[in-house]
Amino acid sequence: MEAYLLEFGNLLLRWLHVIAAIAWVGESIYFVMLDNGLRPPKDAECKKKGVYGEMWAVHGGGFYHNQKYATSPEKLPEDLHWSFWKSYVTWLSGFGLFTLLYLTKPSFYLVNANSPWEWAANMVGWQANVAALAFLALGWIVYNELCKRISPNMTRDGILSVAVAVMMVVVAYLSTHIFSGRAAFLLTGAVMATAMSANVFFWIIPGQRRMVKAMKAGETPNPIDGLRGKQRSVHNTYFTLPVVLLMLSNHYSFTYTHPQSWVIMTLFIFAGALIRQYFVLMHAGHIRPGYPIAGVALILIAIWFGAPSTSKTVEAPAAQSNVTATEQAGEAVPAVEGTTTGEVTLAQVETIMDNRCVQCHAVNPTQAGFAAAPLGVILDSAEQIKLQADRIKQVVASKYMPLGNMSGMTDDERAMIAAWNGQ
């Protein structure tokens, strides 16, 4: 019952997170479209009132007339619409999910036992939690310092964009070397999402509040607040597509189990930013097909780069080697009958699945904390194993599964699965 309630809580929290994210991203994209779609007012009265730009639109059977003031309108209404709670709810619910799914079981979900850095591979649970939280905090600090130092007056945005792009390459590289694959992709997306929400909390909303306060006092708002808010909002819109993709990536193991997964991650980040750039320019009346073409090209490169090897030169180990390795793992698991150097049969793979995987991946998991098979992957029958053959070979070869190797899968067993032809 406890596992069931945790799963239900996970579902409700994820639902809230997705709803808030849709609302936030949708509003953000709308305002970018609106800002870039404004045209100089033609009416003399509007110009006299200080209208900077306007846009007429039709939607839902009605007509809308949006106007933007360069400085401040003559009168500010009391029911002024603010955009911030969607951002905060998105981040808070996302952090809640991260806590529920990752920070509660860091040894399984965060620790990268295959890290080339010994200190990362040897982290215990609490150390992995501290490292993950520090990673998020440092990501925001570094990004914020880059913005403050490179473009303090919002006049060097081009150079700043290059610096942020380089930063994201470094973040991708570090995350995949410190944390396990799925957590690395999630944390890289969380670094960008944290920067997005922190931009709203620390810069955009405070700047807008100062502007409103000055206007109500009959003073001229400091233009730097408007420029800074615009800068950070633009950054947020370019982060949007990469963040959404990275958050979805944990459902697709081919993205995070590749030995050079940071390259795939980087290609996806840049592809998302390029595709977003096309729409930003399109709203301003500029059609630049080169951007989406370049974005799709990067995705194709990622597909090519991440494609699994078709080599079948790996051979199964002898049965005696498997027994010895299993005994060394500290468990009395029966040897796979009939195992000899050569072709691996489905029956042999099924035995490995029974010994190492069905504790979690079954219709009724026996592993504590699992109310249902993770990601719906069920491996308690030969038919299901054949159906999941490619995924099994991929996650086992990368040592991502079993999580934390809690069932003690041996290298010999991994070699047998690698040699299996999937039939």
Closest to 264 measured CA to CA, from 309, 297, 303:
303
Q: Report CA 267 to chain centroid distance, whole Å.
A: 13
Q: Which helix (H) or strand (E) holds 20?
A: helix 2-37
For 137, 172, 239, 270, 315, the CA distances from 166, given in Å and listed in that order, are 18, 10, 14, 11, 42
> What sign does the CA torsion over 69, 72, 74, 79 have?
positive
Over the chain (423 residues), the average pLDDT of each successive run of 10 is: 76 93 92 89 83 90 87 76 92 94 88 91 94 97 97 92 97 96 94 97 94 86 90 94 92 83 96 95 92 96 83 47 41 44 80 87 78 76 84 81 79 87 79
CB 357, CB 351: distance < 8 Å = no
Q: Around Cβ 86, how many Cβ atoms within 10 Å?
A: 20
Q: Which pLDDT belongs to residue 369?
A: 66
d(CA 299, CA 188): 18
What length does the chain have?
Answer: 423
Tokens representing residue 403 in the block = 């999580």
DSSP 374: G
Q: Which pLDDT belongs to residue 52?
A: 87
Closest to 203 measured CA to CA, from 219, 223, 226:
226
d(CA 316, CA 235): 51
Q: Which pLDDT belongs to residue 197?
A: 97
> What sign does the CA torsion over 17, 13, 174, 250 have?
negative
Q: How much is the CA Rg of the chain, to the nearest whole Å?
A: 26
d(CA 367, CA 371): 9
pTM of the model as a whole: 0.80
d(CA 321, CA 195): 50
* β 62-69/51-59 pair status: antiparallel
CB 241, CB 273: distance < 8 Å = yes
Q: Which pLDDT belongs to residue 71?
A: 66
Tokens representing residue 380 in the block = 């308690």
DSSP 73-107: -SS--TT-----HHHHHHHHHHHHHHIIIIITSHH
DSSP 127: H
HEC states along 1-17? CHHHHHHHHHHHHHHHH
Q: Which pLDDT belongs to residue 320?
A: 42
Q: Which pLDDT belongs to residue 397?
A: 82
